[in-house]
Amino acid sequence: MSALFARQEARRARGAAAFIAGLSPRGRAGLVAVEVLVVLALWQFLVGTLRLVNPVFLPPPLDIVNGFGELLATGTLGQNLAVSAGSWFTGYALALLIGIPLGLLMGSSLPVDRVVGPIAWTIYAAPSVAYQPLSKAWFGFGTGPVIFLVAISAVFPILFNIAAGMRTTNPSLVRAARVYGASRLDLYRKVFLPSTVPFLFAGLRQAAVLATIGMMVAELTGSSTGIGAVIIRSANTYQTDQSFAAIMIVVVWSIAMTQLVGVAERILAPWNRRKGVGR
Amino acid sequence: MTDSDTAPAPLIQVRGVTVRYDIARTGTTLTAVDGVDLDIAEGEFVTVLGPSGCGKTTVMNVIAGLVAPTEGEVLVDGRPVTGPGPDRAVVFQDYALLPWRSVFDNVRFGLEMQSGLRTGDWRARVQETIELVGLGGFENSYPRELSGGMQQRVGLARAIVAEPRILLMDEPLGAVDALTREVMRAEIEKLIAATGKTVLFITHSIEEAILLGDRIVVFKSHPGAVLEVIETGLARPRSERGAQSDPRYLELRDHLWDILQNEATTASRGGAGS
């Protein structure tokens, strides 16, 4: 709807703004590509050629590509990415294992919500960095603290979204189900549970981003393996081209994981095609 | 269907039904429905007409077994209603379809919790019902892909697939556009005439109340109660153009119009509460 209005608006207006507003999805992607290329070229020219800043602080794009090549050739990238991915998926799986049942319980039982809710919100209110020193004490220096921070960062959006989905189930669907003979168990299986699915996926998408942040926090502070450790180590040895390459990988990872959730949703809940932002 | 041939008891008997709600926020009690008596014979098509918020839906919910009356009781086939049952189905104003289910699976929903899936030919039955309401070819569509009228056809199919004796319809065409409304009203009349079901049809459209009902029950609001019961006495089918120029139709329309206007005026003067 909004895209349609934007395009109609564009036909009336003139100039560059109108041109951009009127672009098709493919045109918009092209615009972003051109934008990125221009920035990269300018960056390369200003830092790489004119040397306006010390390239150690801000390595030009071609150096970053080199750094990426080095990380790849030495096997550093493969090894550490595997460690990070392992921690991420383990932590995320734990968050699902805890968040989904607890969220369902909170959503369906007011007493559980009253007891667990305030505690959950309190833990969620503190940034995950705050739990980092504790996690070191509890889980040592391996991947333990990383998994812990991924899980604790990802669990709350899943939990709260599912609980909200349960509570906001359309009462008219519940009435209809009762008319056609639904037992209490039927109501949960056939109405409440499916109703939470769109909320679950909204939570999973948030959780994917927060999990990546949690992973970075843990790996940047005293971990010897993982992409975060690569960033710290290369920066400490002034190989900032490699640091930037590693940062790019984290960005790509974060985007890839949210996209993965989107793909899962399209397969598992094809009936839920919302016309929303970024879809 | 019943064994007693001599003056059969009405299929639905509403006996002094009163429904009150305690409003926790204000500490007051709201009387939604006050002492409603109503008998509906087997095979009768009764329309209930009244302004919004007059408690007509509440009465329907009591018959459906969704709301327990504060006082009084409802008997269906002589037995008191204590909850929903397979003898009664409801068509909802907001369709109330499960968005994650296809048309086929939504219609199947009317069968699956009433041991309807144990009979071998349930698939054929679901398919026949879908075709009966004119949705053949849309079996695999999701509700969001259908227009309002089509969604209500699904709601209707879900209601009749298990062959209930009683069909309770709560402003089923209230959310449908005017043209579709006309078409569907005619189809509902035909469908009910063919199946001989007992129908309670709630509406706030005078036209619908007259063109569908054997009898019209007029409700008043604050509190909801029966104001008048009128036999329509029009020949069926009434979907053809002629029905609306029948002198009896015009007489009924003017009469109902007067009652409702009178009622609306008193309600807006006295009924400050929602």
CATH number at residue A250: 1.10.3720.10
CA distances from B132 to B102, B121, B155, B161, B180 (A): 17, 16, 13, 10, 17
Number of domains in chain A: 2
Same domain, A248 and A197: yes
DSSP B237: -
Q: ipTM of the assembly?
A: 0.88
**A81 in the same domain as A44:** no
Residue of B203, B212, B225, B259 whose CA lies nearest to B49: B203
Residues A15 and A153 grouped into a single domain:
no
Q: Which of A169, A172, A175, A180 to mutate to test the interface with B (most CBs of B within 10 A)?
A: A180
- A37 and A114 inside one domain: no
Residue A176, in any domain of the structure: yes
Note whether A57 contacts B: Cβ–Cβ < 8 A: no
Q: Is B39 helix (H, G, I), strand (E, B) or coil?
A: strand
Residue among A179, A269, A272 whose CB faces B84 most closely: A179
Q: Tell whether the model's pLDDT for residue A2 goes beyond 60.
A: no
- Give domain status of residue A246, yes or no: yes
Considering the domain architecture, whether residues A113 and A151 belong to the same structural domain is answered as yes
Q: Is residue A105 in a domain?
A: yes
**Residue A59: inside a domain, yes or no?**
no
Domains of chain B are: 9-87+168-173+198-274 (3.40.50.300)
Q: Does residue B84 belong to the interface with chain A, where contact is any CB pair within 8 Å?
A: yes
User: What end-to-end distance do the CA atoms of chain A give, in Å?
Assistant: 13
Q: How many CB atoms lie within 10 A of CB B44?
A: 17
* pLDDT value at residue A21: 81
Selecting from B89, B99, B142 the residue whose C-beta is nearest the C-beta of A179 gives B89
- CA–CA gap between residue A261 and residue A128 (Å, rounded): 22
Interface test with A, best of B87, B98, B106 (most A CBs within 10 A): B98
Asked if A50 and A43 touch (Cβ cutoff 8 Å), the reply is no
Same domain, A16 and A127: no
Residue A275 lies in a domain: no
Say if residue A275's pLDDT is above 60: no
CA distance A247 to A149: 19
Domain shared by A171 and A252, yes or no: yes
Q: Nearest chain A residue to B65 by CA: give it.
A: A179
What is the residue range of A45's domain?
A: 2-52
Min Cα distance B164 → chain A (Å) is: 11
Q: How far is A274 from chain B (nearest CA, A)?
A: 10
Alpha-carbon torsion angle A62, A67, A72, A74, nearest 10 = 140
Percent above pLDDT 90 for chain A: 50
Q: Which residues of B touch A178 (CB under 8 A)?
A: 66, 84
Query: Which residues in chain A are closer than 8 Å to B174, comparing Cβ atoms?
Result: none
The answer to whether residue B101 neighbours chain A at the CB level (below 8 Å) is yes
Query: Does residue A118 sit in the same domain as residue A200?
Result: yes
- Residues of chain A contacting residue B200, judged by C-beta atoms under 8 Å apart: none
Instruction: Tell me whether B108 touches chain A (CB under 8 Å).
Output: no
* pLDDT over 90 at A127, yes or no: no
| Chain A interface, best mutation among B111, B113, B160, by max A CB count within 10 A | B113
The answer to whether residue A49 scores a pLDDT higher than 70 is yes
Structure pTM?
0.81
Residue A242 lies in a domain: yes
- Cross-chain Cβ contact B66/A179 below 8 Å: yes
Mean pLDDT on A239-246: 90
Residue contacts between A and B (CB atoms, under 8 Å) = 58
Residue B32 has φ and ψ, to the nearest 5°, of -80, -40
Q: Average pLDDT for consecutive 10-residue bins of chain B (274 residues)?
A: 62 92 86 91 93 86 93 93 92 94 94 74 90 92 91 94 93 88 89 91 92 93 88 82 82 91 74 42
Quote the pLDDT of residue A82.
93
Is residue A57 included in any domain, yes or no? no
CB contact A181 to B (< 8 Å) = yes
Give chain B positions within 8 Å (CB) of A180: 84, 89, 109-110, 112-114, 158, 162
Both A236 and A142 in one domain: the answer is yes
Asked whether the beta carbons of B67 and B36 are under 8 A apart, the reply is: no
Structural domain contains residue A276: no
Rounded Cα distance, B213 and A114, in Å: 50
User: What's the CA gap between B176 and A216, in Å, rounded?
Assistant: 53
Instruction: Give pLDDT tens digits for A151-192.
Output: 999 999 999 999 999 999 999 999 999 999 999 999 999 999
B122-132 and B148-160 helices cross at what angle (nearest 10)?
Answer: 140
Q: Which helix (H) or strand (E) element contains residue A5?
A: helix A2-12
Distance from A200 to chain B by nearest Cα, in Å? Answer: 14
Please report the pLDDT score of residue A12 as a whole number.
59
Domain match, A99 and A200 both: yes
State the DSSP H helix or E strand holding residue A232, giving kind and residue range, or none if neither: helix A227-236
Q: Let me know whether A23 and A112 are in one domain.
A: no
Q: How confident is the model at residue A202 (pLDDT cuts 50, 70, 90)?
A: very high
Task: State the nearest Cα–Cα gap between B106 and chain A, in angstroms.
Answer: 11
Q: Which is higher by pLDDT, A55 or A233?
A: A233
Token match 């991947």: residue? Answer: A143
Residue A47 DSSP class: I
Is A20 in the same domain as A147?
no
Residue in A172, A197, A272 closest to B96 by CB: A172
Q: In this predicted structure, what is the pLDDT of residue B116?
A: 58
Helix/strand/coil for B70: coil
Least confident of A16-25, A123-132, A245-254: A16-25
